[in-house]
Chain A
């Protein structure tokens, strides 16, 4: 039917025309038989053409246009306004009565049916089949009417049946309870009948809605303007699995999953300290995603906690889908090519950073933790560096540093040498390169860019392709394409080597976001080098370093602790032995610096001992 309203929402052009196509019903097969002429007529007759039959959804451009808002928005606004007015009224009534009374101000009424209807309207039930309401009689003497509300799929049915409905409906009889009036009844139900481990009181519709949407069960009792929320959360989640992007060979293999409570638990079992605090923040008007913020109270600088909270609470969006999006909202320089918060999916790494005075944010439905602040060197580290012995850890880190340099600069360096300074190459190799490039018609830069594009295609295809064909693509691409390209004289063999090594190096970088940043920067450096040779490369490197130096991550210089701190620099690139790391990293103004005694290996007669009995 044509809708006369809603220029914003949708518009049906004309309407569906009456069915023109007729045929005869075949009694034997039960199908519709249409003869040839009818089919041809459909093609030739303009009135039966597609024209008005297609469903079209177009935006006329811009909201408003002077039209009234749609009925849906009007109804929604009405509900909210009513609730708000009720709350205001009661606030004014309760104001002279003190703080306790103020907290209990809500917008429920004492009538069960009115409350139920309001909630159903709010959730667009019975249209919305997810909200289930179950009316029961609580078996007190006399019985009290109550309604249970819960969301299908988010709540644990067994707990509802066994721990809420059974006591209320069946067991209350044994106790011979009298319901009492209004709020007394509620007290009795809460304390003697509801066998749930977390029960809280909700006074207004929006908190009831929030509760319901998290998976709790709401008990509405006739005669009380309060609802009881029983915790029955059971959202569908994966079990704790392996890390997907941060594998280690020699360490724990559990990784975060999408339920933030599970993630917090994974961290908490590694840091069994009462000073480890989890605060809950909510982000997003429509998604109302829980964001858990963890920190250790006596170690973290309080200014950092306040700043993180300030930024998260200032985010006003409708949905937050994942940690990647939240990261972009709270970062210092979201347009920078290098990330200034660290996203990790390993609980052991998170625990380590928490113990060094960082703050961790857990976004619900994202299998990551956001660590703020972070430094550039943290992007080059993995958890494995500490689990291995320290020379191996240092070696790993140097390899990664080399990988960073190669991934960033090898193509540009190659172009600078081959195009601007062929004298740098030893004569024999230079002649070989010249000879292998002779049949290739394109300049070196174009060749390099083409191979780079092909490599990125391979990489992207390998990521998106369904798992069964995945390895095949990699094999086909690398062997066949490379070989065929060389033999078709489109690229020279040296170029394939350069591109392959660069690609490999960029994947040796442990941080996925940094890998992307490095890839973009590589193109930039290549461009500069093409125009100006080594001068361009030097200019690019210089600008990059300046940019990184000037960047800050939550107030900490991005290149700390190499810059911006006094004293010796430990643990930026090379790992010192674990038993020598007595102090926490110096780039945060921590409250408590010392984390282990000077003589950790006190059993060892060969270790250096101090004079003081405490040992530091």
Chain B
């Protein structure tokens, strides 16, 4: 991967990160936020954004120090030939776990909501096929597809929120401090790894035009996600109220089912789900690509493409392992998300090492 000139700009990168993170809003993550904060879930969302931005800072610093390099190369240069690939491997394994969980989670969501009789394996195969095709075309294809599809994905969120506005009852957002500030902050801390996928951008670091693009992409993407999450949670609690929002695993689907504009526009949630499928496809493609490239970098392969097909098959089969929907949720919430903290520590470690050992471009570009 030396000599590869990347072309992804700040605009495309931030949209990519927004699509990867924002697709989580279509799953049960708003429910987690309401679970933590009750009526003050929007505060939890804002806290998560702030934490996410803080956690992204080491990545931004690494990107500025090593422009045009991806995670694998940075860790190799900074941590040496033994520790470096090990750290990259840790990140790759976590990314693989996230891919697998995302694949299964989305499949279950789509089966439950719009295709009840279709066997999940079919959807998993379709999803994996799409991700494989996209990842094969390269990082630019993933980022640019996300950029082109952004209006549709955004429509999936914005339309639902706008059409639900007449039903919002602002008093449902009270009491204003939810379960108390202490619980809100704790909840924010627990779910702060929700934006851990920002490491995907670092894994794709070589595909960015320069360090500034990486920086802008990470920060803007997390910011956009935070705003979208806060808005979603506000509308959700304002319509459904805290008790319902805490128990409903498909919050945005619930909202889209309530869309009822006179006699003409009703029951259109299937169309909204179609937009979500696009977001899910972007997420799985980006994650698969990041996994493949990190893995390839860790074991020093010159190209990541030979890894794609076996990796896809392994992930597809693994994703069908959990027995039911609840075990997928448990796996995600109790294992994968907390491990995200460990993964976010990797760039921090690398950055400290780079500072100590003085590696990388010491000049600070504006």
Contacts and interface: CB of A to CB of B under 8 A. Distances in A.
Interface of A: 416-417, 420-421, 423-424, 426, 428, 532-539, 541-543, 545-547, 549-550, 557, 559, 562-566
Nearest 5 interchain pairs by C-beta = A538-B277, A550-B137, A563-B144, A421-B270, A549-B144
A546 B281 CA distance: 11
23 contacts: A423-B267, A424-B271, A426-B263, A426-B264, A428-B263, A533-B115, A535-B123, A535-B274, A539-B126, A542-B134, A542-B277, A542-B278, A542-B281, A545-B148, A549-B140, A549-B148, A550-B140, A550-B141, A559-B148, A562-B148, A563-B12, A565-B9, A566-B10
B281 A538 contact: yes
B118 interface: yes
B247 interface: no
Nearest to A560: B144
A184 B7 CA distance: 63
A269 B263 CA distance: 60
Contact of A546 (B110, B114, B133): B133
Contacts of B147: 562-563
B266 interface: yes
A413 to B, nearest CB: 9
Interface of B: 7, 9-12, 110, 114-115, 118, 122-123, 126, 130, 133-134, 137-138, 140-141, 144-145, 147-149, 263-264, 266-268, 270-271, 273-275, 277-278, 281-282, 285
Nearest to B209: A566
A365 to B, nearest CB: 38
B118 A557 contact: no
Contacts of B118: 532, 535
B137 to A, nearest CB: 4
Given A423-B267, A557-B144, 10 more contacts: A416-B270, A424-B267, A424-B270, A426-B264, A426-B266, A532-B122, A534-B277, A542-B281, A545-B149, A565-B9
B122 A563 contact: no
A566 B141 CA distance: 16
Contacts of A538: 274-275, 277-278, 281
Contact of B137 (A423, A424, A546, A565): A546
A460 to B, nearest CB: 33
Contacts of B267: 423-424
A309 B145 CA distance: 32
A416 B106 CA distance: 20
Contacts of B273: 534
Contacts of A423: 267, 270
Contacts of A547: 137
Contacts of A545: 145, 148-149
Contacts of B270: 416-417, 420-421, 423-424, 533-534
A421 B110 CA distance: 14
Contacts of A562: 147-148
A329 to B, nearest CB: 24
Contacts of A417: 270
A563 B10 CA distance: 11
Contacts of B137: 546-547, 549-550
B270 to A, nearest CB: 4
Contacts of A565: 9
A543 B130 contact: yes
Contacts of A557: 140, 144
Nearest to B15: A563
A570 to B, nearest CB: 15
B155 to A, nearest CB: 13
B274 A564 contact: no
Contact of A543 (B115, B123, B133, B275): B133
A416 B277 CA distance: 14
A542 B145 contact: yes
Contact of B9 (A539, A541, A566): A566
Contacts of B12: 563
A534 B274 contact: yes
Contacts of A549: 137, 140-141, 144-145, 148
A300 B90 CA distance: 48
Contacts of A428: 263
Given A423-B267, A550-B137, A564-B7, A535 B114 contact: yes
Contacts of B263: 426, 428
Contacts of A426: 263-264, 266
Contacts of A421: 114, 270
Contacts of B149: 542, 545
A492 B355 CA distance: 72
A234 to B, nearest CB: 51
Contacts of B266: 426
Contacts of A420: 114-115, 270
A535 B130 contact: no
A541 B144 CA distance: 14
B114 to A, nearest CB: 6
A426 to B, nearest CB: 6
Given A546-B133, A563-B147, A424 B141 contact: no
Contacts of A535: 110, 114-115, 118, 123, 126, 274, 277
A327 B264 CA distance: 48
B116 to A, nearest CB: 11
A564 B285 CA distance: 19
A564 B144 contact: yes
- Report which residue of B144, B263, B273, B278 has the largest number of chain A beta carbons within 10 angstroms of its beta carbon: B144
Contacts of B268: 424
A205 B149 CA distance: 60
B114 A534 contact: yes
- Report which residue of B11, B148, B275, B285 has the largest number of chain A beta carbons within 10 angstroms of its beta carbon: B148
B130 A566 contact: no
Contacts of B11: 566
A514 B12 CA distance: 27
A587 B147 CA distance: 16
A393 B236 CA distance: 41
B141 to A, nearest CB: 4
Nearest to A540: B130
A566 B271 CA distance: 32
Contacts of B138: 550
B50 to A, nearest CB: 28
Nearest to A549: B144
A214 to B, nearest CB: 45
Contact of A537 (B110, B264, B274): B274
A117 B214 CA distance: 74
A498 B115 CA distance: 25
Contacts of B133: 543, 546
A537 B277 CA distance: 10
A211 to B, nearest CB: 47
A392 B263 CA distance: 33
A474 B270 CA distance: 38
A111 B9 CA distance: 70
